[in-house]
Amino acid sequence: MLLLVGLGNPGPKYALNRHNIGFMAVDEIVRRHSFSPERQRFQSLTYEGTLGGEKVIAMKPMTYMNESGRAVGEALRFFKLEPQNVVVIHDELDLPANKLRIKTGGGAGGHNGIKSIIAHIGENFRRIRIGIGHPGTKERDQVLNAVLGDFSKTEMKWVEPLLDTIVAEAPLLGEGRFNSFANRVHLALNPEPIKAEKPKTPKESGDK
């Protein structure tokens, strides 16, 4: 079983925040892979389904970002899972916008939702980090405004294709093919340019 956790803050005023891209990704996976109707448990909204033949519990903690670990810890204990069965999707300031990376373990990197989860279940869980870009300053107020600000219409032009690709490749997560998932998302968003063929010489083309 896989516990797929999207991070964000509950409520409509946060729905399109950059900080809520984890919620947005889980919403699309749940909708387009025909998960069960929403249930309220583990201080979260939860959904059951399958990805790549594996049972998946998708969840969106309703604890607010900074207490996400309470919800994840409760679900982990209920299902008797290990941290390596947990995949968390979250925003990442230190990645350029429209980039996706996967890592297992390590610190929180300043992300309070990840910090809370580490405090409750340890650090040995996978993270799907979605770059939202850094505002270019370390001023706390400006960083918070960027993180808690809504995606602009221009940004949504990359957010929507990124979410589409995550949904399309999500079965790989159920199969445990995490590196393949990351690679396929990268290639879909950054297709290799088609190399132009060199013109053939008269000899190569068969001309005499």
Q: What is the pLDDT of residues 154-198, one digit of tens each?
A: 999 999 999 999 999 999 999 999 999 999 999 988 776 666 566
**Higher-confidence position of 120 and 138:** 120
How far the first Cα of the chain sits from its last, in Å, is: 66
Q: How much is the mean pLDDT over the chain?
A: 91
Q: How far, in Å, CA of 72 to CA of 33, rounded?
A: 22
Q: What is the predicted pLDDT for the residue at 139?
A: 79
Active-site residue, selected from the candidate residues 19, 33, 120, 186: 19
Q: What is the predicted pLDDT for the residue at 137?
A: 76
What are the sequence ranges of the domains in the chain?
Answer: 2-205
What's the pTM?
A: 0.89
Q: What is the predicted pLDDT for the residue at 120?
A: 97
Rounded mean pLDDT, 131-143: 82
Rounded mean pLDDT, 78-88: 96
Quickly state the pLDDT bin for 146 (edges 50, 70, 90): confident
- Output the CATH code of domain 2-205: 3.40.50.1470
19 is catalytic: yes
In 3D space, the residue among 65, 87, 47, 71 whose CA is nearest the CA of residue 174 turns out to be 87
